[in-house]
Copies of this chain bind each other. A is one copy, B any other.
Amino acid sequence: MDAIRIDFLQFCNWSPAIFAQWRAARLGAVHATVAYHLSFRAVVDGIVAWNRRFRDHADLIAPARVADDIDRAAAAGRTAVVLGLQNPMAIEDDLGLLAVLHDLGIRVMQLTYNNQSLLGCGWAEAEDSGLTRMGREVIREMNRLGMLIDLSHAGERTALDAIAHSARPVAVTHATPSDWRPGGRQVSPRLMQALAASGGILGLSLYPHHLADGSATTLAAFCAMAARAAETMGTERLGIGSDLCQDQPDEAVQWMREGRWMRPDPAAPRPRFPAQPEWFADSRGFDALETGLRDIGFSAAETGMILGANWHRFLHASLRPAP
């Protein structure tokens, strides 16, 4: 098998055209966000929609419930889809809904999305008081089930608490280092080191607001950042989580930021999606990444690790019940 490519975070307006781009990009697996702020019931509707896509487009995609599904899909020339949630709203205050969502195929969940949640705190709050009582219970249950804990969008204290509390390695699926793109949404050297020390993975994001020069960021600058991140964390701790939001209307970014919990000033400008860097307009940008990572000095093997082999190894360890 060729070195597997994995993009461990996308939130696109899913379509056969996008699935065909996954195949053109030779993506072996994609982690697809089902929901940001949705209720349990609405997440079930999102899963029903994915079940239908899996049947209607079985020539292009396949569900990934265990890591072996990724290998089976790759062998059959299909892209395996790992379903995830960017917010724990869907479990309400019921630990039992984690096993329910796991049975329905959800394999990744963020503890927080920007704001404070029942489990901990997001990066955008003024104060982060760390992991909550329920947060500790949820981590234990996710560890038991083999559901991956994603600390993207978490506050740093909550993230460090979660790394310390989790019996299994965790991930930040989509972010960049804050010493490259400043801001609480990105990851500090301290967090990167803690993540690496625990055996976790950082998925490097290609969302323009996570890039040093936004949409104008060059491939070389992105790859130089990856090289510095590898010095901090080790090459084996890096992956890609592009955060591609292809073909989404601007209402989608408004939904991400505002959900139903905010009433923004109607006179204020509404958020819009930024343009992707021209070298990563869609999943086929993995070809440019391969070139850029080689040009910055990564070996072919190291490049393959960052573009998928690290996620692949990590998922084989993570997506199984605790022994």
Q: Which residues does A use to contact B, with CB under 8 Å?
A: 40-41, 44, 47-49, 51-52, 94, 96-97, 99-100, 103-105
CA distance A44 to B51 in the complex (A): 18
A99 near B51: Cβ-Cβ < 8 Å? yes
A–B pairs, 15, beta carbons within 8 Å: A40-B44, A41-B41, A44-B97, A47-B100, A48-B94, A48-B96, A48-B100, A49-B96, A51-B96, A51-B99, A51-B100, A100-B104, A103-B104, A103-B105, A104-B104
B97/A48 in contact, CB under 8 A? yes
The answer for the CA separation of A51 and B97 in the assembled complex, in Å, is 10
A89 to chain B, nearest CB (A): 15
How far is it, in angstroms, between the C-alpha of A48 and the C-alpha of B95 when the chains are bound? 9
With both chains docked as a complex, state the minimum distance between the C-beta of A166 and any C-beta of chain B, in angstroms: 21
Q: How far is the CB of A249 from chain B (nearest CB, A)?
A: 24
Question: CA–CA, A55 to B96, complex, Å?
Answer: 12
Residues of B within 8 A of A44 (CB): 40, 97, 100
Contacts of A48 in B (CB 8 A): 94, 96-97, 99-100
Whole-angstrom distance between the Cβ of A58 and the nearest chain B Cβ: 14
Check B41–A96 contact: CB distance below 8 A.
Answer: no
By beta carbon, the residue of chain B nearest A52 is B96
The 9 A-B pairs with the shortest beta carbon distances in the complex, nearest first, are A48-B96, A103-B103, A103-B104, A51-B99, A44-B100, A51-B96, A41-B41, A100-B104, A48-B100
The residue on B at minimum CB distance from A144 is: B55
Chain B contacts for A49, CB-based, 8 A = 96
List residues of chain B with CB within 8 A of the CB of A52: 96
Instruction: Give, as a whole number of angstroms, the nearest-CB distance from A189 to chain B.
Output: 41
Minimum CB–CB distance for A322 against chain B, Å: 13
Q: What is the chain B residue whose CB lies nearest that of A44?
A: B100
Given A40-B44, A51-B100, list of 5 further CB < 8 A pairs?
A48-B94, A48-B97, A48-B99, A49-B96, A51-B99
C-alpha spacing A182/B104, complex, angstroms: 43
Contacts of A41 in B (CB 8 A): 40-41
Which residues from chain B contact A103 at a C-beta distance below 8 Å?
Answer: 103-105
Distance of A40 from chain B, by nearest CB (Å): 7
CB distance from A181 to the nearest CB of B (A): 39
Q: From residue A38, how far is it (CB to closest CB) to chain B in Å? A: 14
Contacts of A96 in B (CB 8 A): 48-49, 51-52
A56 to chain B, nearest CB (A): 12
